[in-house]
Amino acid sequence: MLSNLYLRGNSLKTIIAAIMCTLCSLPTHAGPTDQKIPMRLSTASTYYVDGYFTGYGAVDLMVDTGSSYTVINEEALAVLRENGAAIYVKDLTGIMADGSKKIVPVYRIAEMSIGNGCTFKDIEAAVFAGSTRYILGISTLKKATPFTFSLEPPTLLLSNCGESSTPSPPQAITPAAQENTEDLRAIARDDTGV
């Protein structure tokens, strides 16, 4: 009889474990601040999403979970700085995919949207020379945790999405706003030496 109870106890534990595994493997549902972002597969077998930098405009972002930082190029940085939407943070020594080391500046970008309305403020982006592609890296994806990268269908499920503070499409910068932008750039130069 004692062995019968032991067997029943183990069976009960097995059943409970099976139920827990089943519940844990059920698909999660998007919450009120979650966004499903469709991804596009390129011919190079990389995935892209629509992006938008307030103060710059629309971009194609390559989704790269192996990249520590979101990456922009110098052209985008120049426009973002001109519009008061980027402030220097630090220099970063990065190890590239080929193993080489590169020192790149990191800027805080005021606002970035992914897909159709998943907006994040004050993201850090590394700036690469030339017209390098835009990369959606872990520094931004961390703000969207928990997130899901799904291949079938190619989708990013991002959490903690905020709303954009700029109307869409963005309005032109007024002369008054331009004066404020110049003040912000002066403050950024004073604080960082740039």
Model pLDDT, residue 94 = 76
Nearest residue to 189 via CA among 76, 70, 84, 72: 84
pLDDT at residue 19 in the model? 40
Q: What pLDDT was estimated at residue 162? A: 82
Query: What is the pLDDT at residue 7?
Result: 43
**Predicted pLDDT at 32:** 52
Residue 166: per-residue pLDDT: 55
pLDDT of 176: 37
Question: pLDDT value at position 34?
Answer: 82
* pLDDT score recorded for residue 84: 97
pTM of the entire predicted model:
0.67
The class (CATH top level) of 41-145+161-168 is mainly beta
Tens of pLDDT, residue by residue, the chain (194 residues): 444 444 444 454 444 444 443 333 334 444 456 889 999 999 889 999 999 999 999 999 999 999 999 999 999 999 999 999 999 999 999 787 788 998 999 999 999 999 987 999 999 999 999 888 999 999 999 999 999 999 999 999 999 888 766 544 433 333 333 333 333 333 333 333 43
